[in-house]
Structure 1
């Protein structure tokens, strides 16, 4: 009893939320149907892994292209079928199934010859009748029919004269889509009654399946089914002798769609071969279909255990069950036990995703609690220590003003330096604590770039002069929307770090506009940062051993603050550096809100209607090339000059090209260049000294503009503006 009681330590009581969620998942998955493609794929893969040769007694007599080619009339007729049946009657096959026949119009005695041949047989062959697909009722019910002579008569489906000499059958298969597993009917329910299927006829004596609609075992390699051309059987008695005591199916095999069917790994499987495989499935079986309920019930039990057991035992059970469910078809389908596993797999997978998400939320909660505790501790500790440090600083100042010896003055100076260093460190710690705790909020407003740069200059001018640093600030009249104090802190940290480690060098502080955003840059020519330290120097308490130009004198907190403030303001902070050459720090993503922005843009569009247009200029004359490029740049275009034909160019809007590039090289000799430009949807203007008619003669497919040299600037501008208007209109 005590041992049973000890088992309780492995279990826990699931929460109400977990129970509700599991119930919702079970209901949702049991009602959902979009998981079938997984079962199709799994069954197809399993069939290929279990691939085996066919070893039954069925033989296909193929009315193939060879047969029709060697027949006297080059077409299959009732007379030919009569000859084939006569030859078969000489060798006593076990049974004959005649698949759907397609006869050419023959002589008047063809019908009688076929009737006579059927009468020579010792048994009634099975004749496949043609019936419209909509008249077939696919059914998976238990009701079946034996398909023997006591079945309803289908004389109306057969040609007069042979109805009493054959037994009807129907080949009926069901596919959800072209590459899904295939199901077959044991017997077929039609509007005329019940008809046996070709599979049930070929499998005479086999036990019937548990359900009328059964799954075909596609692990048989249909290429291993014995097959002979009908013409060979009729002409060669040795081949016909091989059919003694065999189940024979006579069928057309060559016409795609009519005579073949798509199976998961063979799109050209003949319908006759599929009937043989379906019959062999019945002989090996009967096949059993478990559906999706069995595996889904197992998955429910596994997920309940997963939730109820303490870690990691539930995970072990769920993982083991998932693997078993995935691999079980490989073993069960060898025994003709077919099932669907997709719902079970989806249930276990979804529960796993939910549990990972839940554990992630718990981890985030623990992390946030730890971060808040750390931030509160830092804030409290730094705040409590600032007062005594401040007092020490005052005492050191008073002590420095008293009568001290030179040695004592040096000691007091070192004390003051240490106090200042500690004060800066605690200020940085307070900033980090405020950011982490969320107490530091951004206050967005309009900020003038020039005013901000003036503050940076006033705060750092003296320090730069003392360090022998040439500090240059590039003014700008732009206005951005940001938090003035926080952005000022970021710039101050960057500039002070550069001053500290660029002794005797130069520092440039400026900004660059890109569309509607602004980026600040702080560039120095100091000693730089090693590539493997670029990421490390942006973290707390890291100091570069190489004395990089952006190291920190206050325990490595300066860049960490810049990094955190950038994230708070939704900006990007980037560092680029090279040892011995300097460092560039940038703050990117500031939104420009200049009041003159909107009217200025529209005015620019009026003055520079070609502004922003990407143009490729191709001309072999250097003077013409450079002057054209300079003119286009003056108009606001983005120009790419080429001294060769414009082949393999980058994406652009317009190509301005000469026709003759000297030394016998012309666009007329390389028409593929023009056609490729046209395929890319790029407008092209040819500017040449040749007559336009001569150019069009050499380029008959070119429909663009041709301008003649010498060309006035206004004419070129007008042509380019017209092309741009057409493109905008389209």
Structure 2
């Protein structure tokens, strides 16, 4: 239920943004037609046109439109100051539009008949921007405008056929616009539903498949620690390599479905770039070795304002792409400073991208694949995810590539944070504390994953209490490691709170999940809880466990 409320809140926020955009657009249209009417009146007053406009009429109309311009500026300010859907404000502005046009047609007589075209423009504009209800209101106001003009303008009264033509035109055009608006709304709803269904399918399929892949990865890590001969080690390495390709694919699918759902939030914080770089380098060491790539990074003391999770995802995708297409070359990751701005760059000596493909590489599922090229893992989502995450974070992605020489991908626009703490070494990269004797409470409802995780932890020397559901009693431990969904309505956060109440200590905890990371993170309200997504890399888990033991978490 909490998730549904969250989705509703996000949809409401997006709807308010659309409403504000629509009102700003209509306000700009209002300024345009004021400008057009003013120019037209001045031209007619100067004798340009089939009939002259008397000087006193010109003065009256210009005086009126000066006042109407002030009114429009006040309305525009209120739209900027209080964006959103305010029916009263819309009704007042629509009434102002029709009153101004009716006044012009009454005062100007035959010479101002072209204002009827603006009546149609305003009628259709209000309906197309605000929806069917406002189109109906605009239709009524247009008919009233014609009726009032006919009553007070002798020329219109003397030409009833012309008036009837205008009445039918003012009825037919909005009616046709209404039909188009309804068809467009239905098509948009169908497209949104189809997109939502796709996102749900991708998210669910990704989650369901990540669980067995996660278990296989843990079993492989345990198998590597046994005494394997050379041939067996090669087979395990190849299985692990293929498994990591599958894991990256699942992560891409889940990332793109999360972006489509609109649930991802930007959570800026002060981030040590050196820690992010070190983590990403460690995650890609094996992939670089398999592709014969020399992977290096330039250490930095820069601290920036960023979302560490989203930044890691962006950098991981760029480095993964560089390794994938830079076989036999080198990949260098570094930071470039300019004043209080920081740019993160990934250089590779790969095959490069031709000019014709570069405008499209950030589109979803677009792959630069020529006939005869060897197959590479992935479905063309990595750069699309980077571009959308950068937009969410207010950053800019730049790409410079030369075919046959390599590519430079840059994430631009980071702001530097406070210099406090800069230049300190990351304890995790300098210190590798053994895990022998480290006490862990492990809870996982999938028994295969439970067995694999327990075996891996015991292989590292940890003392493990393992359970497939929330335990009634536990011994004092150094860490709680739990899945998020434990069945029977029990979540990892509830399990952590329960164990802490049993032991009477605020034991550090790690939650593992195959669901959308942002959604799960929003549901974690307990202190000293870290989140890891499945399928997790054993090296990343071991690094985090080490940080807990040395007190860095």
Name the TM tier (shorter chain).
0.3 to 0.5
The alignment's TM-score, normalised by the length of structure 2, stands at: 0.44
Which structure: greater helix fraction? 2
* Higher RCO (CA-CA < 8 Å; seq separation 6+): 2
Which structure: greater strand fraction? 1
Larger Rg: 1
